[in-house]
Structure 1
Amino acid sequence: MIKAPVSNDLFLRAQNSIPGGVNSPVRAFRAVGGNPRFIVSAKGPYMYDEDDNRYTDFINSWGPMILGHAAEVVQEAVQQAIPNSLSFGAPTRKEIEIAELIVSMVPSIEKVRMVNSGTEATMSAIRVARGFTGRDKIIKFEGCYHGHGDSFLISAGSGAITLGVPDSPGVTKGTANDTLTAPYNNLDAVKTLVDAKKGQIAAIILEPVAGNMGLVTPAEGFLQNLRALCDKEGIVLIFDEVMTGFRLAPGGAQELYGVTPDMSTLGKIIGGGMPVGAYGGKREIMEYVAPAGPVYQAGTLSGNPIAMSAGMAMLTYLKEHPEVYTQLRNTTDKLVSGMEQNMQQLGLNFTVNQIGSMFSIFFTQQAVTDFDSAKTSNTAFFGRYFNAMLDRGIYLAPSQYEALFVSTAIGEEQVSQYIQANLESLKEAQQG
């Protein structure tokens, strides 16, 4: 069993000065028991904690480390940019270059605005959609998480459900009234909402592949039918691709499924690990953003030169090396196949959802297609399984309701290690 006395001491110390001892709730390990590990460094497929323990990482900073930790192409770009200063608060050539690159890669984006986080991107996209349409209400889907903006903390997934507080205090009733929710993959429920609020819906926002109730893929025709409905009703369709953008394909889930939204939000990979986000879409919609138009949004650190350099290096590499996606899919297929064989051998109730280099295990006997079916999972079993994997040097997301991410740094050695640890950990979790 891996020991972590230094991490335990740091967690106790952190709680004196940081709410809950962490700067993002799911990191506190409350859903799985035990204390978080405090990380010192990472390289390739591995992370190292304060106690000199090594972990094979399947979170990869919640997605952006698609080339593994400290990828040389990104590191070199950052090192070259640092001597020129860390921030200007003024325009740079690199902002134009990365904007042009994003426009060339993402089908829906004709213009793009850089921001500093996925939350900022989704908040801004909703505001622009409201300004463009002159309407107030939005539709989101139960279990889809779009950051911690007030409009989105209604039937949210991820950290909200992990903490057992799906609707956060501090969100006003007025804000909640303007956010309508429907079950993911349920087109009829969306149509009912649209009919009930005819001419009032500004936008429908969703993760085209949900990753914050665990990984849930769209049912056949779901995205296409949403596109048709939005066209018919004059509603702005927004794909939140903060997680899936550039991970599932060079153009994200919208390229993979052949459905083009009106707007897209991005994050994670476009910063190569640096704090960054972006939102973009059709030219006529994005022309509503100040200073071109009346919808205000600003940010001192937006387009930060270090983040732009990291993102430019990452996206350029992915565009020039599309074989990355075949490699990622093949590696993930092997992982999932090995896990499924282990769970079948042990007679467990399980569902594994996978697309490309993203996957989730649900300890339930039914298919997981929406938030309600995700919540049938045996979370107590997952907690035992998580800690057993951690003891074997496998770093998973500390919540049943999160997706896992594979990087190109995961090779045959790490796949074999994972499958063996999976079998041993499942046996241990069965014993209670």
Structure 2
Amino acid sequence: MFDIQKIRADFPILSRQVNGKPLVYFDNGATTQKPQVVIDAIATYYQEINANIHRGVHTLSQLATDAYEASRTKIQNHINAQFAHEVLFTSGTTHGVNLVANGFASLLKAGDEVLVSALEHHSNIVPWQMLCEKTGAVLKVIPMNEKGELVMTEFDQLLSDKTKIVTVNHISNALGTINPIKYMIDKAHQFGAAVFIDGAQAVPHLKPNVQELDCDFYAFSGHKICGPTGTGILYGKEAWLNKLPPYQGGGEMIKEVTFEKTTYAELPHKFEAGTPNIAGGIVLGAAVDYMNSVGFDNIQKQELELLNYATEQLLAIEGLKIYGTAEAKTSVISFNIDGIHPYDIGTIVDKLGIAVRTGHHCAQPIMNFFEIPGTIRASFAFYNTKEEIDVMVEAVKKAKMMLS
């Protein structure tokens, strides 16, 4: 059974006050809060098995290595990757994007095409722009409509034999739109193109099945799924990871080094140069365990109720407009109030203990499309409540009255 009070008790930070008010944390799209089991797992690693991994025969090194690789296997099972070596530890989604974009520099030539969507976070735009500048490839954009949905007829027309990779987020961080990635993956594969999925905003809400999706790459960040910052995962199909060159050189990613020639290690170590965030990798496994113990069916049900309730309550405020009204949407609401800058609303509600995000959310092309400087974004997690939404709505009303 889903007991919201029991769930909330798992998160120590939810009991604190901000500016003398009980914290209402609606910035989950930026990062999720951490349950006590995750916090404890960090301390346990450093207190009991702190050692470098893969390189030592001593007991602590073996214990740390076993825990790190057990976490990789947990994540393999969580996303249903075929092999554990298809799961690479990274520092986050941005690292994963850059790893793949850098690798494709050796595969593209002038005139090849890279397709990105109009809904992307800057981290899934800039590395591909850099790739195109380096190779002479052409960046093409899948357009969006007024509801914040990608226009699939335009996507179909953009695809051609020149398309070498399509990169799209599973869920928009700025609008909450859930993109039809299975359709896009299947369509792109008809033209022989690879598909990279930015799953940063999806993994807190659902379990991606990478084999069912048939995506070539899928990246996400640990801190978006109740795990520690500085951690992430890049899934890549074995064939693609073998085809790409190493992203970084150094220790761990080598098989043999001489001054004349270096040979590289097998997957996954080929892409994991240097001492990794060992504690982070291990604790990411603990975070995945926690999310699965809550249950993604329960998470989706709770967050859908919050989304629907907050949408109804906010739209009752005169002059308030929601950006992103896709049919398929997760628990993110981006909104503005006529004549008031989003930053001013955000500043006032913060004084009342409410954490929301204001600005362009690292998605300036979306804001340019709507011809606005930014939005106020309230992003909900499974540990939030309708009562907290009521507090936010009253705070927004108060801010509107003060600023009008």
TM-score strictly above 0.5: yes
Residue of structure 2 aligned with 1:383, choices 343, 346, 350: 343
- Structural mapping, 1:388-399, within 5 Å: 388-399=348-359
Q: Offset of 1:236 from its aligned partner?
A: 0.8
Query: What is the aligned partner in structure 2 of residue 72 from structure 1?
Result: 36
Determine if contact 2:97/2:127 at 8 Å carries over to the other structure. Answer: no
Residue of structure 1 aligned with 2:101, choices 126, 136, 145: 126
Distance change >3 Å, CA 296–CA 70, structure 1 → 2: closer
Tell me the matched-pair count: 342
Determine if contact 2:21/2:352 at 8 Å carries over to the other structure. Answer: no
Residue of structure 2 aligned with 1:59, choices 27, 32, 37: 27
Distance 1:314 1:308 in 2: 10
Distance change >3 Å, CA 338–CA 292, structure 1 → 2: closer
Q: Offset of 1:241 from its aligned partner?
A: 0.5
Q: Offset of 1:331 from its aligned partner?
A: 4.9
3-state SS, counterpart of residue 350 of structure 1: strand
Query: What is the aligned partner in structure 2 of residue 215 from structure 1?
Result: 176
Between 306-315 and 380-389, report the one with greater CA deviation: 380-389
Determine if contact 2:42/2:283 at 8 Å carries over to the other structure. Answer: yes
Query: What is the aligned partner in structure 2 of residue 248 from structure 1?
Result: 205
Q: Offset of 1:270 from its aligned partner?
A: 5.7
Structure 1 residue identity aligned to 2:69: I
Determine if contact 2:219/2:234 at 8 Å carries over to the other structure. Answer: yes
TM-score by length of 2: 0.70
Distance 2:283 2:66 in 1: 14
Q: Deviations over 1:260-305 (max 9, x none)?
A: 4121012134671231122113232233355337996443243x22
Between 262-271 and 73-82, report the one with greater CA deviation: 262-271
Distance change >3 Å, CA 351–CA 122, structure 1 → 2: closer
- Structural mapping, 1:244-323, within 5 Å: 244-245=202-203, 247-251=204-208, 259-267=213-221, 268-269=223-224, 272-288=227-243, 291-292=265-266, 297-302=271-276, 304-322=277-295
RMSD: 3.8
Distance 1:288 1:417 in 2: 52
Between 291-300 and 110-119, report the one with greater CA deviation: 291-300
Between 73-82 and 140-149, report the one with greater CA deviation: 140-149
Q: Deviations over 1:179-211 (max 9, x none)?
A: 33222412343344433xx34x32111102111
Q: Offset of 1:390 from its aligned partner?
A: 1.7
Structure 1 residue identity aligned to 2:175: G
Distance change >3 Å, CA 352–CA 144, structure 1 → 2: closer
Structure 2 spans left out of the alignment, 5+ residues: 1-10, 56-64, 145-149, 247-264, 363-376
Distance 2:291 2:124 in 1: 29
Query: What is the aligned partner in structure 2 of residue 145 from structure 1?
Result: 121
Query: What is the aligned partner in structure 1 of residue 318 from structure 2?
Result: 346
2:142 pairs with 1:182: yes
Structure 1 residue identity aligned to 2:178: T
Q: Deviations over 1:198-251 (max 9, x none)?
A: 34x32111102111x433332xxx434322222211111111112212x12133
Determine if contact 1:269/1:311 at 8 Å carries over to the other structure. Answer: no
Distance change >3 Å, CA 307–CA 271, structure 1 → 2: farther
Q: Deviations over 1:93-149 (max 9, x none)?
A: 223212211221214564111111221111112344566789964221124025278
Distance 1:342 1:271 in 2: 27
Residue of structure 2 aligned with 1:236, choices 182, 194, 206: 194
Structure 1 residue identity aligned to 2:192: G
Determine if contact 1:48/1:54 at 8 Å carries over to the other structure. Answer: yes
- Structural mapping, 1:146-161, within 5 Å: 147=123, 150-152=126-128, 154=129
Query: What is the aligned partner in structure 2 of residue 417 from structure 1?
Result: 391
Structure 1 spans left out of the alignment, 5+ residues: 1-41, 155-169, 365-377
Query: What is the aligned partner in structure 2 of residue 23 from structure 1?
Result: none
Q: Offset of 1:314 from its aligned partner?
A: 0.7
Distance 2:339 2:51 in 1: 44
Structure 1 residue identity aligned to 2:230: P
Distance change >3 Å, CA 259–CA 362, structure 1 → 2: farther
Distance 2:243 2:336 in 1: 46
Between 419-428 and 273-282, report the one with greater CA deviation: 419-428
Distance 1:348 1:128 in 2: 45
Determine if contact 1:386/1:396 at 8 Å carries over to the other structure. Answer: yes
Distance change >3 Å, CA 95–CA 78, structure 1 → 2: same
3-state SS, counterpart of residue 307 of structure 1: helix
Q: Deviations over 1:8-28 (max 9, x none)?
A: xxxxxxxxxxxxxxxxxxxxx
Distance change >3 Å, CA 194–CA 294, structure 1 → 2: farther
Determine if contact 2:175/2:324 at 8 Å carries over to the other structure. Answer: no
Distance change >3 Å, CA 300–CA 294, structure 1 → 2: closer
Query: What is the aligned partner in structure 2 of residue 202 from structure 1?
Result: 164
Distance 1:305 1:347 in 2: 49
Distance 1:171 1:288 in 2: 17
Identical counterparts, % of pairs: 11
Q: Offset of 1:61 from its aligned partner?
A: 7.4
